[in-house]
Amino acid sequence: MKTSVGLPFGAFLILFTCTSALAAGDDACSLLTQTQVSSVLGVSVGVGQHPSDEMHVPPNPAIDRLACTWYEPGKNSLVAKRVSLNIFGTVGGVTPVQRFNNAKTQVRGITKTPVIGVGDDAFYMESPLRVTLHVKKGNSVFEIMVGGFSEQQIDQVKTMEKTLAQYAVAKL
């Protein structure tokens, strides 16, 4: 399994994190610090970037605050060690908690494994392309994805995602 992402982050965001509502104060970049991410990844990372910062386009407040990525500086974004955090919003009347519960449904080719010790409920979603950790605490839902590591490091990636999720949950 490869943990590096073939899709640019912006495309990933548009496909999987589209939202229509945003609660005041929700900002993915505020849930983790640069120091926390650097410590967990074992490499220095830059400050968290919203999608518009990353793609050098005008900000879109409805989407930007829901996603944040921290990159290892000086490397191509697809090979750099990185962390992406996406907050789930309401889509077409489906709440973040409903989206979380829907995502738990088993699908062929995707392994979903419960995780204990993070939020009220959590699970890893593992496909041939990546592993992500989905977390629910109260009515808040987010996912964390660590990238830039080889498929042989999948257990290490899961541990990093869990540690980062615990930091993020503490701020909810």
Position 79 scores a pLDDT of 86
Between CA 96 and CA 125 the distance in angstroms is 17
- Tell me the C-alpha to C-alpha distance, in Å, between residue 113 and each of 101, 110, 127, 154: 13, 10, 12, 14
Of the candidates 129, 122, 102, the one whose C-alpha atom is nearest the C-alpha of residue 164 is 122
Q: Which of 18-32, 51-65, 86-100 has the highest mean pLDDT?
A: 86-100
For residue 136, the cross-strand partners are 121, 141
Position 55 scores a pLDDT of 64
For the chain, give the secondary structure using H, E and C.
CCCCCCCCHHHHHHHHCCCCCCCCCCCHHHCCCHHHHHHHHCCCCCCCECHHHHHCCCCCHHHHCCEEEEECCCCCCCCCCEEEEEECCCECCECHHHHHHHHCCCECCEEEEECCCCCCEEEEEECCCCEEEEEEECCEEEEEEEECCCHHHHHHHHHHHHHHHHHHHCCC
Between CA 119 and CA 97 the distance in angstroms is 13
What's the fold here for domain 9-169? Answer: Protein Transport Mog1p; Chain A (3.40.1000)
Query: What would the pLDDT profile of 24-45 be if each residue is shown by its tens digit?
Result: 357 999 999 999 999 999 999 9
Q: Residue 129: left (phi > 0), alpha (psi -120 to 50), or beta? A: alpha
Q: Is the pLDDT of residue 1 over 90?
A: no
Q: Is the pLDDT of residue 74 over 50?
A: yes
pLDDT band at 54 (very low <50, low <70, confident <90, very high): low
Position 16 scores a pLDDT of 38
Q: How many CB atoms sit inside 10 A of residue 14's CB?
A: 14
Question: For residue 120, what are the contacts with CB-CB under 8 A and spacing of at least 6?
Answer: 136, 137, 138
Q: What is the pTM of this model?
A: 0.82
Position 129 scores a pLDDT of 86
Query: What would the pLDDT profile of 113-132 be if each residue is shown by its tens digit?
Result: 999 999 999 999 999 889 99
